Structure 1
Amino acid sequence: MSLTEAQISKVQPTGKTQKLYDGSGLYLEVRPSGMLIWRIACRVNRKPKTVTLGDYPKLKLRAARIEAMKVLDSINSGLDPSAPPGEPDPLDDFLDFSGEEVDPRDTWRGLCEDWFEKRLREGIADLTQKKTLILLAKTYPGIGNKRARDLGLRDFVPILQAEADAGRLETAKRLRSVCSAVLRYGVQTDRADRDFMHEARDVTPAPQVRNRPGLTDPRQVGSLMQALRDYSGSPQTRAALLIQAYCFQRPGETRTMEWADLDLDAALWTIPAEKMKRKRPHIVPLARQVVEVIDWIRPVTMRSKWVLPMGRDWGRPLSEATMNQALVRLGFEKSEHVPHGFRTTASTMLYEHEWNGDWIELQLSHVEDNKVKGAYNKALHLKGRTEMMQWYADHLDQLAEE
């Protein structure tokens, strides 16, 4: 039975690749990553071939059928001898310069997709999934259908340079890192010879570090805390801002806090290593005020796995944009204070009151993995940090009441 647009719009990815057949060799490949790819299975000179036509929804059903007919017409006429000079043959994408067929899995795109599926099995975070797919898609137009083993640094430099020239230095740096990971996977699976992306470091200069605006004047901080207490918007947003203020972790870590990460009896929040993008988890002692906020929000959000879910979609965590907008509505412009700025506030005040620098840096998760000697000790400075975190929460409350 032929496919319909209605059927395709309802397709959901599973844990393995699916093939939805339309007819005449045309089928829609549904990847576990959620990507939908039109392919046509055919034979040229009695040899089986698979030709990729494009992605859905960029290529709709009707257009995919037209492209499939073009490929079949090309095959029926040999290698398309009737094509006008200079017009590429539809099969050229999967043939190397000698006319040898290239297995789609051996192409750069095929390698990227297999690597991404591996990352999915490893439990890559939802947000990281989206960012990674966006980065990989930047490489497909130029080199996606080329054999991965035949690629060299010269093929990637223009792609990286385009991002750097556009001022997207952080994107260029991340893209280089993702391509490096794919190449290493290619070496492991015998589809690439080596990872040469370290040679492209000069193409992706380190982005300038920007200090995120954060209030440090005690009177302004007191006004901010009073405004957070009185916030009348959604309960999740109010709780998120208060937790961010008291715990001063990165906003992404606060927003994606899960009930499974909390031990309220011990007053501890353990942020998993994958969320920290580190080799070890990060332990945050919870002040009495934080436990009270979580107990207050529990009846509202306990049905979600997220402590702070979206207001309209409890299957997703609160967005950072929501926290930003709430601060603006409270009268704090982005030029003076943002959610990440609570880290600046805490660092400044704790150092000014001469708390132990090791405790502060560990609490900010600034300590690199290679600087932690031996196996990570879950009790590392925990007693001191617990005392510090309670003092800091009490200090914020005191400023709010002055």
Structure 2
Amino acid sequence: MPLTDTEARKTPPSDRPQKLFDGGGLYLLINPNGTRWWRLKYRVAGSEKLLSLGVYPEVSLKAARERREELRRQLKAGIDPGQQRRAEKLSQAGAVADTFEAIANEWLELQKKRLAPATHSKCRWMLDGYLIPAFGRLPMGDVTPPMILAALRLIESKGAHETAHRCRAFCGRIFRYAIATSRAERDPSADLRGALAPVVHTPRAAITDPERIGDLLRAIDGYEGHYPTLYALRLAPLVFTRPGELRCAEWAEIDLDGAEWVIPGRRMKMRQEHIVPLSTQAVEILRAAHKVSSNSRFVFPGVRNRAEPLSNNTINAALRRLGYPKDEMTGHGFRALASTRLNEMGWAPDVIERQLAHAEANRVRAVYNRAQYLPERRKMMQAWADYLDGLRRP
């Protein structure tokens, strides 16, 4: 039977401690001297633990029950309430340097110059959205594999299996850094290899049939909306860069007279400078874009803030407006579209791969390819633009 307030208040002390149980591990301990303490009994990894919830009647029966439910929710999330409380006390005392949150923030700050802005932003999002709420305040030595797994299972339950794997890998980097700086002895995330559901990769949706490519190009030409979005849509099939590389293009990177776009390494996935030869059609689109965005640093400024580039989802949203669902065509799909057709047109695979900025495992060959294939890439990009013009005509 649940404890009543009358029992909690009127049960007299005896010569031995008494326990009045309320359920769910909560009980009132009545000491021989008359003091009455709320206690919560719980188990972690098979071990029984106790936590004090305050003194009755300062902490009422109702308040103790609310606290019990809060702590039980933490347990379901893989958090040990006792360890969490210890971490909070350490934090209040100023001893926060060895918590997961502090070390993760330290590592992320050190990596800021090396990581691409988008990658850094994703790490920040994973840290703030999933890892810190789960065990961020705990000292590194108190974070256990079950705690990490509970946080990852929560992510998996939302269908974000790839994010769960990324978070596990991110935890590993933080722990390895902590080990290197003598603030942890081991990496508990290493024990979770194979514990997560595998990620099933599906190819990004792309249109590759020539007739349907023509339909897509005509639909893009008829797009009515934000002009920078229109120009980005029209340029995308001509340059087939990654969506983030396209939307964040800056005028300082583009030489219209030299018909060349040089994307700096800091904005590339592989962290290497990438040259995009511009066809006459691409230059024409960029000159038109310059008339509406020359007062912005970005070639394709945002809808609401011209000091920022187009948002992540703008191109995909525009394709949806044109009637192309996400399982049919995406912003990233322009790369598959170009790769498929260029290979079928007989262009050398190495030339195509280099223009796609795919990684070259052999560093020496990568340098050689960059110099050797640029003239061929220029020819290919112009021939590709002419080919698209042919498809555009009904």
TM-score by length of 2: 0.72
- Mapped contact 1:164–1:203 kept (Cα < 8 A): no
C-alpha separation between the residues in 2 aligned to 1:252 and 1:278?
Answer: 13
Other-structure match for 1:331: 323
Other-structure match for 1:373: 364
Counterparts in 2 of 1:258 and 1:370: CA distance versus 1, 3 Å:
same
Other-structure match for 1:254: 246
Other-structure match for 1:359: 351
Farther-moved stretch of structure 1 (288-297 vs 82-91): 82-91
After superposition, give the CA deviation of every residue in 1:311-331 in whole Å (9 maximum; x if it has no partner). 211122112432223223333
**Residue of 69, 92, 101 corresponding to 1:109:** 101
**Residue of 127, 130, 135 corresponding to 2:126:** 135
After superposition, give the CA deviation of every residue in 1:332-362 in whole Å (9 maximum; x if it has no partner). 3333222222122212211111111111222
Partner of 1:209, secondary structure, is coil
C-alpha separation between the residues in 2 aligned to 1:350 and 1:155?
Answer: 49
**RMSD between superposed Cα atoms in Å:** 3.0
When Rg is computed on C-alpha atoms for both structures, the one with the higher figure is 2
C-alpha separation between the residues in 2 aligned to 1:200 and 1:374?
Answer: 37
Counterparts in 2 of 1:257 and 1:177: CA distance versus 1, 3 Å:
farther
Where in structure 2 are the equivalents of 1:205-216 lying within 5 Å? Answer: 205-216=197-208
Counterparts in 2 of 1:332 and 1:173: CA distance versus 1, 3 Å:
same
Counterparts in 2 of 1:206 and 1:239: CA distance versus 1, 3 Å:
farther
1:92 aligns to 2:66 (yes or no): no
C-alpha separation between the residues in 2 aligned to 1:336 and 1:143?
Answer: 40
Other-structure match for 1:312: 304
Counterparts in 2 of 1:194 and 1:309: CA distance versus 1, 3 Å:
farther
C-alpha separation between the residues in 2 aligned to 1:284 and 1:219?
Answer: 26
Partner of 1:226, secondary structure, is helix
C-alpha separation between the residues in 1 aligned to 2:244 and 2:379?
Answer: 25
Gaps of 5+ in 1: 1-78
Letter in 2 for 1:181: R
Gaps of 5+ in 2: 1-51, 69-80
**Residue of 151, 171, 175 corresponding to 2:167:** 175
Partner of 1:184, secondary structure, is helix
Partner of 2:229, secondary structure, is helix
Other-structure match for 2:30: none
Aligned length: 319
TM-score by length of 1: 0.70
1:346 aligns to 2:338 (yes or no): yes
- Mapped contact 2:206–2:329 kept (Cα < 8 A): yes
- Mapped contact 1:94–1:104 kept (Cα < 8 A): no
After superposition, give the CA deviation of every residue in 1:98-142 in whole Å (9 maximum; x if it has no partner). xx978211111111222233334x275554444322211212233
Where in structure 2 are the equivalents of 1:115-130 lying within 5 Å? Answer: 115-120=107-112, 122=113, 126-130=117-121
1:189 aligns to 2:189 (yes or no): no
After superposition, give the CA deviation of every residue in 1:204-224 in whole Å (9 maximum; x if it has no partner). 454222222222222221122
Letter in 2 for 1:335: D
- Mapped contact 2:248–2:309 kept (Cα < 8 A): yes
1:218 aligns to 2:210 (yes or no): yes
